[in-house]
Amino acid sequence: QVQLVESGGGLVQAGGSLRLSCAASGLTFSSYAMGWFRQAPGKQQEFVATITWSGSTYSADSVKGRFTISRDNAKNTLYLQLNSLKPEDTAIYYCAAAGGYNSRLLTRRNEYDYWGQGTQVTVSS
């Protein structure tokens, strides 16, 4: 079965950095579009960044210039580099996968087929 397992979250001071990873198994990773979403306490889940199977990327305006999405198909792993973190970045971060060699930049949660369990990122001021 498909599994997406996030890691790399933690507690960091404002201005700091983290790198999140999402290890995928049970799917042909290289053919999947991947995405990151986040959910802060008391708020709806929101789109963060996406990468197509061929490597095109798109990020939400709130993280553009600070967060970078990337993938390593040889390791079946998705990454999210978080720099210049702010307290408002505090959330549970989820990775997601969408199949079918999708070349569109997917920003809605209902476009994704599989989800990880999430990793907590807490940014202190």
Residue pair 20/9 in contact by the 8 Å Cβ criterion? yes
User: What burial class does residue 123 get, using C-beta atoms within 10 Å of its C-beta: 0-12 exposed, 13-18 middle, 19+ buried?
Assistant: buried
pLDDT, one tens digit per residue, over 22-64 is 999 999 999 999 999 999 999 999 999 999 999 999 999 999 9
pLDDT, one tens digit per residue, over 67-82 is 999 999 999 999 999 9
Residue pair 59/49 in contact by the 8 Å Cβ criterion? yes
Separation CA 77–CA 29 (nearest Å): 8
pLDDT band at 15 (very low <50, low <70, confident <90, very high): very high
pLDDT, one tens digit per residue, over 96-124 is 999 877 788 999 999 999 999 999 999 99
Report pLDDT for 120: 98
Report pLDDT for 36: 98
What is the gyration radius of the CA atoms in the chain, in angstroms? 13
